[in-house]
Amino acid sequence: MIATRIKDFGELVKFSHTVFLFPFALSAVVLAMGQATLTWAKGFWIVVALVAARSAAMVINRIADLRYDAQNPRTAARPMVSGRVSKPLAWAWLIAACAAFVLASAMLGPACLYLSPVALAWVLGYSFAKRFTFLCHIWLGLATALAPLGAWVAMTGALDWPIVLLALAVACWVGGFDIIYACQDIDFDRAHKLHSLPARLGLHGALWISRGLHLLAALGFWALGPLFGLGRIYLTGVALIALLLLVEHVLVAVKRANIPMAFFTVNGVVSIAYFLFLLIDRLASA
């Protein structure tokens, strides 16, 4: 029974998708180590905060979209739609995740605690963005960008502008691939009056916006190098990431059925590669 509950929870919050979040948060930790010391306790609470915030965001998304998920063939097998996770249980998980996030924030210091309600409001609010704005993809990007920002504040106790550049690059990257992901539901979103860039602009127009966002993301990653004194290893990684993003767009342009692979596989490699090249660069220059 416990194993089944854990499996259902993992599927509900798409735990495998944390690969998009964790590497950039860890990258911020590595960058902050030039100014602050990473202790085991601090590392533990940073991980708890990240898992809790993302879990809360995904659970509220499933609760808010339950009616739509039940009508969309692509999402009809999700745990709440199939009845494997009840609404009361989902709400209990949501409350627990929010409580864990606030607790972790408190353990990371006053700055994190004071900012935790703002962060929660933003990440939870994303689930309702498609009701009123086609900029919901940017909202999601900025919500994900809170991960490196939060990790930096947890490490240093302050918010410094160079780390904001990493956050903005992450926001553009996530917004770009979320537009690609939303291309699967163009007809459904239009029929149910849900807002998204693909529903508003069509496939062709939305993909051009996605390409522009990914170009900005690559430029942001590149510009971060001199700000933090990163060298050739890091810049080689950024060049690889730019190539991966190009491959992603080629895959989608060739066949719309390639969207799931472009969304998860390519972007999973992007986030992990970014962290590894940054980490190796730092270690090599130490």
pLDDT digits (tens, 9 = 90+) for 12-71: 666 556 667 899 999 999 999 988 999 999 999 999 999 999 999 999 999 999 999 999
Measured distance CA(119)–CA(98) in Å, rounded: 11
Dihedral sign for Cα atoms in the order 243, 262, 79, 182: positive
Confidence (pTM): 0.93
Average pLDDT for 181-186? 92
Distance of alpha carbon 17 from the chain centroid: 8
Measured distance CA(186)–CA(195) in Å, rounded: 10
Measured distance CA(169)–CA(175) in Å, rounded: 10
pLDDT per position as a tens digit, 262-272: 777 888 899 99
User: How many Cα atoms within 13 Å fall on the side-chain side of residue 64?
Assistant: 16
Measured distance CA(240)–CA(91) in Å, rounded: 41
On whether the CB atoms of residues 177 and 263 are closer than 8 A, the answer is yes
pLDDT per position as a tens digit, 67-119: 999 999 888 888 888 888 889 999 999 999 999 999 999 999 999 999 999 99
On whether the CB atoms of residues 108 and 45 are closer than 8 A, the answer is yes
pLDDT per position as a tens digit, 118-130: 999 999 999 999 9
Q: What is the mean pLDDT of the chain?
A: 91
